[in-house]
Amino acid sequence: MEALRLWNARAIDPSSGTVIDRATISVAGGRITEVVEATGDTPAGAIDVAGRTVLPGFIDAHVHLVSDVSRSPGFGPAPQLKGEDPRPRELGWFVLAKSCSALLESGITTVRDVGAYDDEAIVMRRAVELGLAPGPRILTCGRIISATSPGGRIFGSMYAEADGPWEVRRAVREQLRRGADFVKLMSTGARSVEREDPEPAQLTREEIAAIVDEAHRIGLRVAAHAEGLAGTRLAVEEGVDTIEHGLALHRAPELLAAMAEAGQVLVPTLSTFHDLAERFSHEWVPRLVDQAKRQLEEAYTTLVAAREAGVTLAMGFDSGPPGANIWELVRMSEGGLGSMAALAAATSGAAAAAGLPDLGRLRPGAVADLVVVDGDPIADVRVLLRPSRIRLVIHDGLVVAGRDLDGPAIGRVAAVDDEPLEPPTGPPSPCCGPSGAS
- Span 271-330, contacts to Zn ion by CB under 5 A: 318
Residue 141 or residue 305: which is nearer to Zn ion going by CB? 141
Beta strands at 108-113 and 137-140: parallel, antiparallel or unpaired: parallel
Cα–Cα distance, 381 to 67 (Å, whole number):
29
- Least Å distance between CB 190 and Zn ion? 9
Count of other CB atoms within 10 angstroms of residue 182 = 24
Nearer to Zn ion, 26 or 192 (CB): 192
Least Å distance, CB 434 to Zn ion, is 14
How many residues touch Zn ion under the rule CB under 5 A: the total is 1
Nearest distance, CB of residue 67 and Zn ion, angstroms: 16
Spatial distance between the Cα atoms of 111 and 212, rounded to a whole number of angstroms:
22
Give the nearest distance from C-beta 92 to Zn ion in angstroms: 19
Measured between alpha carbons, how far is 294 from 289 in angstroms, rounded to an integer? 9
Contacts to Zn ion from residues 140-159, by CB under 5 A? none
Give me the residue whose beta carbon is nearest to Zn ion. Answer: 318
Residues 202-261 that bind Zn ion (CB under 5 A): none
The minimum distance between CB 354 and Zn ion, in angstroms, equals: 15
Please report how the helices 229-237 and 205-217 are oriented relative to each other, as an axis angle in degrees rounded to 10.
Answer: 40
| Least CB distance to Zn ion at residue 245 (A) | 8
Kindly identify the residues of this chain, within the stretch 54-113, that bind Zn ion according to CB under 5 A. Answer: none
> Based on CB atoms, which residue is closest to Zn ion, 63 or 212?
63
Would you say 181 or 318 has its CB closer to Zn ion?
318
Cβ-based nearer residue to Zn ion, 35 or 108: 108
Nearer to Zn ion, 227 or 318 (CB): 318
Tell the smallest beta-carbon distance from residue 359 to Zn ion (Å): 21
Q: Which is nearer to Zn ion, 103 or 373 (CB)?
A: 103
Report, in Å, the least distance between residue 63 CB and Zn ion.
8
* Distance of alpha carbon 71 from alpha carbon 321, whole angstroms: 7
Give the per-residue contact string, 364-403, with Zn ion (x = CB under 5 A; - = no).
Answer: ----------------------------------------
The Cα 257–Cα 239 span in angstroms is: 14
Q: Which residues pair with 11 in a beta bridge?
A: 20, 54
d(CA 77, CA 156): 23
Give the residue with the Cβ less far from Zn ion, 158 or 211.
Answer: 158
> Judged by CB, which is closer to Zn ion: 318, or 369?
318
Nearest Cα neighbor of 208 from 225, 229, 191, 228 is 225
Q: How far is the CB of 42 from Zn ion (least distance, A)?
A: 45
Altogether, the residues listed in the chain come to a count of 438
Q: Which is nearer to Zn ion, 38 or 122 (CB)?
A: 122
Q: How far is the CB of 329 from Zn ion (least distance, A)?
A: 17
CB of 235 to Zn ion, least distance (A): 15
Which residue, 109 or 192, is less far from Zn ion as judged by CB? 192
Pick the closer one to Zn ion by CB: 13 or 318: 318
The least CB distance from residue 115 to Zn ion, in Å, is: 6
> Which amino acid does the sequence have at 27?
V
Binding site for Zn ion (CB under 5 A): 318
